[in-house]
Amino acid sequence: MPELPEVEHAARTLRAWLGGRTIRRARAADTRIFRGGSPSDFERLLPGRRLERVDRRGKYLLLTFDGDLGLLSHLGMTGKWVRRSPSPLTGRRPVPLHSHAHLVLDDKSALHYVDPRLFGQLLLVRGGAVAELPVIRALGPDALLDGVDTTTLHAALSRSARPVKVALLDQSVLAGVGNIYATEALFHAGLHPTRPSRSLTLEETSRLAEGIRAVLDRALAGMVEEEIAYLSLGRGAVNRFVIYDRIGSPCPRCGRTLESLVIGGRTSAFCPGCQR
């Protein structure tokens, strides 16, 4: 499921696919991904536009086009952007399953927004100030763009009695980290996911900050394919994580069986030996 590395990967591929290109056509189905906007605006306002920039804040993609038009894209639980080029034999472009909106570019390729569970969002913003939307301004420091500062993170955690796993999922504390990478970072740091946030020492927070940086860097380094396969969809995805989705397997560090807890409504894998 898409978190910061997957969304950063999407931002990089969209820059490559849309850079220097003009949108010829836009099509969209009337689904809930357009909540707050409308598919008709998507179809009417995007043709003829050229991309100026693609930014990312937390788990949000921020596309800015000429003519002061912006597009907010959130991938939700299963969303992704994919590219399809015309077949050299038929000239037709294959349409991926669960495509709910697409853009046809001047190089005849099409960019599809694919989302089986429809939890993502596409929102057009006139005036282009997509970065000024309240949902973006409410985000905390971006774990990649702003870095993970130990002192800042410790100050944020010290104000909360919530389990540290729950606090890490709060996007106003640290933007971009979700269930998968919080699970991985806590294992890296040797911290139990139910520890009260304010109980962490500065040294433990330093280990956690280093763990967050390490798991994000490792994830980004491993993304070489244009289309990411999500484990939650179970179609040929390779589990590249250390303990996420490996409940019941031996801990790679101490050999104890990995266990799980439900914390804040989310399943969290942990090692009872390494994360006491």
Q: What CATH number has the domain bearing residue 14?
A: 3.20.190.10
Position 144 in a domain: no
Position 143 in a domain: no
pLDDT tens digits, 132-166 = 999 999 999 999 999 999 999 999 999 999 999 99
**Do residues 208 and 241 both lie within one domain?**
yes
Q: 273 with 256: CB under 8 angstroms? A: yes
List the one residue out of 161, 137, 141 whose CA is nearest residue 152.
Answer: 141
Pick the catalytic residue: 57, 59, 80, 165?
59
**Do residues 13 and 115 both lie within one domain?**
yes
Q: Catalytic site residue 83?
A: no
Q: What is the pTM of this model?
A: 0.94
Q: Catalytic site residue 266?
A: yes
**Do residues 115 and 21 both lie within one domain?**
yes
**Do residues 124 and 176 both lie within one domain?**
no
Pick the catalytic residue: 3, 6, 8, 184?
3
Q: Catalytic site residue 198?
A: no
**Do residues 72 and 155 both lie within one domain?**
no
**Do residues 118 and 185 both lie within one domain?**
no
**Do residues 171 and 255 both lie within one domain?**
yes
Q: What CATH number has the domain bearing residue 253?
A: 1.10.8.50
pLDDT tens digits, 78-95 = 999 999 998 877 778 889
Q: Catalytic site residue 80?
A: no
pLDDT averaged over every residue in the chain:
95
Last residue of a domain, one of 137, 168, 196: 137
Q: How do 69-74 and 121-126 pair as beta strands?
A: antiparallel
In the block, tokens 């991904």 appear at 33
**Do residues 28 and 122 both lie within one domain?**
yes
Last residue of a domain, one of 137, 169, 195: 137
Position 275 in a domain: no
Position 142 in a domain: no
Position 276 in a domain: no
Position 174 in a domain: yes
**Do residues 206 and 119 both lie within one domain?**
no
Pick the catalytic residue: 2, 39, 141, 193?
2
**Full residue range of the structural domain in which residue 256 is found:** 150-270
**Do residues 94 and 30 both lie within one domain?**
yes
Structure token pair of residue 206: 């330093």
pLDDT tens digits, 200-253 = 999 999 999 999 999 999 999 988 778 878 887 766 678 889 999 999 999 999
Q: Is the dihedral of CA 192, 197, 199, 202 positive or negative?
A: positive
Last residue of a domain, one of 137, 164, 183: 137
42: pLDDT strictly greater than 90: yes
**Do residues 163 and 232 both lie within one domain?**
yes
Position 145 in a domain: no
SS3 246: coil
- Distance between CA atoms of residues 4 and 56, nearest Å: 9
**Do residues 205 and 172 both lie within one domain?**
yes
